[in-house]
Structure 1
């Protein structure tokens, strides 16, 4: 798309009271974002569903000024910008009526002709939920799917890390602009995610951080993929909103069942009970229901080659955890005689290699 049209598309996106659905309706009528902003007001009011309140702020020149600043930020930070009519715009997302007219991207995302799944769930994921998520991604790795999630605590980051561990492309959909990261503690995972996929958002660098942004972000998580998988969810939660959005897009939804007394399974159980999701009990329910070509699962090797890719410090930490069981980060640093700031980085690398895993309370154990 030409830079002029990108500028006007950004300006249109900046106008209050005009969402993506209305913006697309205006563009379809006028022919381009630039034509919309140069059209006579009385002509726009003839469009079905367009009223005075909706276009009240449309012709304010501040929108173009803001768009120029944002476009400068995009170029300065080498951010990719996709317009909804462009060929490189995500194909499945393009099919969604409320998909962003403009999408911002970092990393090396490749979605053409790919199997894409979204994995969502509670931020307070249990140990069994973590294990199921990791086993799910490991089992589906033979299909080389793209794993989409929201880069949040709990289920999201578990899914991203599992994808990285198995060399799968993973995409973090953000509820804020690309000039920040939330939660800040996940900043350490940004480079691994960008090296194995990247980040997507429709929020500007000037947008203020708001919790309502997460609900808006969820339509991108649901829209990018052919199926949304809910690992764990309480009776209410953002992952249930994502599941509802996926259903509205006529996409498949899967939910992992739990015991009736499990708080973090009540949302999943309700999705299944209300026929809003397929019951997911084994990873291969997914390729069966999605009609992927069934492949034989990879048989595990008899003995894991643990030290092939571990450096000296990693071997020291692994041996300590293997002999002493789960330990806190500061104890690991003390007993292994490695500075604590260095141990944190080493443990992250070992976690991505799949030889240790974090536990609540800043504990770590070998896998």
Structure 2
């Protein structure tokens, strides 16, 4: 991209009251960011949905001066910039109307032909949540997904550390410019994250750190991936906002269930109860719902996607694998179990993600 055009893109990005969707509309109408600034205001007002308030500041030279300062920071620190029209701009984010017109990044991010999922949740992750998150990502590792999160305390950093441990690319989406790291204690992870992926943000180095930035940041986390996974969440929290945004983008959302009495599971349970998220008990649930093709992977990979079954559960599973969809009575008869015993085993297997119920009181192996 030409330096001069980048300057005007920066200035357009920083205009108050404009927003990414409106900025894209103006660029589409006029052909470039520079042309937006050189066009007469009366002509800009003819663009559908454009009013005086949104154009406020367009004629103020202060915004170009601020853009020059940020461009200098970008050049001096070798910050990578990705315009929403560039080929290497995240593909799924391109389809989000409010996706950033310009992304800043560091590290070695490569999203070409990659499966991408976002993993989010509470900052107050429990021991059980840590164990599930680590196992979930380990189970997914043969499929080489990119793990996206917010580099925050709790679920975020747990997921990203697990990704690095399993040799997966991971991306931290920041709520501030690339001139700082929050929380500071996570600075020790920056090098390994950049070596195994990197960081994205649409905030400038000059932008003041604000907690409201996290909510704006969440649209990138939700928009960049094909699915968002909520590991643990209290009844209210930023991860639930990310789930809502993902649903608004028509992306799949998954939530890990917990006991009704667990405070850090209330948000996930509510998502599942309101049918705003699929129940997630293991990696196989996500693989099935996203229709990821694992046929070309070694058999060991597919086995890794399932939690180990007890001997009697394995007997039921093998029966369903051989016979296909079956009703409870047929399963019980075929495996020589009392019906009540087969029903209990099938429930346990469903929770483990090994079988699923179907209409007509049928069951099938996953």
CA deviations over 1:104-139 (Å, ceiling 9, x no partner) = 000000001100010000000000000000000000
Question: Which ranges of structure 1 fall in alignment gaps of 5 or more residues?
Answer: 301-367
* Partner-residue secondary structure (3-state), 1:22: helix
1:153 aligns with 2:149: no
Paired with 2:246 and 2:237, the residues of 1 have a C-alpha distance of 15
Paired with 1:246 and 1:52, the residues of 2 have a C-alpha distance of 31
Paired with 2:37 and 2:59, the residues of 1 have a C-alpha distance of 7
Paired with 2:155 and 2:91, the residues of 1 have a C-alpha distance of 26
Q: Rg larger in 1 or in 2?
A: 2
CA deviations over 1:182-225 (Å, ceiling 9, x no partner) = 00000000001000000000000000000000000000001111
Q: Which residue of 1 aligns with 2:8?
A: 8
Q: Which residue of 2 aligns with 1:60?
A: 60
Q: Which residue of 1 aligns with 2:144?
A: 144
1:121 aligns with 2:121: yes
Paired with 2:92 and 2:21, the residues of 1 have a C-alpha distance of 16
* Partner-residue secondary structure (3-state), 2:228: strand
CA deviations over 1:63-85 (Å, ceiling 9, x no partner) = 11111111111111111001101
Q: Which residue of 2 aligns with 1:105?
A: 105
How many Å apart are 1:153 and its aligned residue? 0.1
Paired with 1:67 and 1:100, the residues of 2 have a C-alpha distance of 16
Paired with 1:56 and 1:182, the residues of 2 have a C-alpha distance of 32
1:253 aligns with 2:253: yes
CA deviations over 1:208-265 (Å, ceiling 9, x no partner) = 0000000000000011110000000001000000001101111100000011111100
How many Å apart are 1:273 and its aligned residue? 0.7
1:213 aligns with 2:213: yes
* Partner-residue secondary structure (3-state), 1:7: helix
* Partner-residue secondary structure (3-state), 1:70: helix
Question: Which ranges of structure 2 fall in alignment gaps of 5 or more residues?
Answer: 305-366
Paired with 2:13 and 2:59, the residues of 1 have a C-alpha distance of 13
TM-score (norm 2): 0.81
Q: Runs (4+) of structure 1 moved beyond 2 Å?
A: 294-300
How many Å apart are 1:297 and its aligned residue? 4.5
Q: Which residue of 1 aligns with 2:40?
A: 40
Against the structure 1 CA distance between its residues 297 and 136, is the aligned structure 2 distance closer, same or farther, given a 3 Å change threshold?
Answer: farther
Paired with 1:2 and 1:255, the residues of 2 have a C-alpha distance of 44
1:26 aligns with 2:26: yes
CA deviations over 1:116-168 (Å, ceiling 9, x no partner) = 01000000000000000000000000000000000000000000000000010
How many Å apart are 1:275 and its aligned residue? 0.8
CA deviations over 1:284-327 (Å, ceiling 9, x no partner) = 11111100113545478xxxxxxxxxxxxxxxxxxxxxxxxxxx
TM-score (norm 1): 0.80
Residue pairs, 1:129-278, within 5 angstroms: 129-278=129-278
Paired with 1:90 and 1:282, the residues of 2 have a C-alpha distance of 27
How many Å apart are 1:52 and its aligned residue? 1.0
How many Å apart are 1:58 and its aligned residue? 1.1
How many Å apart are 1:283 and its aligned residue? 1.3
Paired with 1:12 and 1:71, the residues of 2 have a C-alpha distance of 13
* Partner-residue secondary structure (3-state), 1:284: helix
The number of equivalent residue pairs is: 300
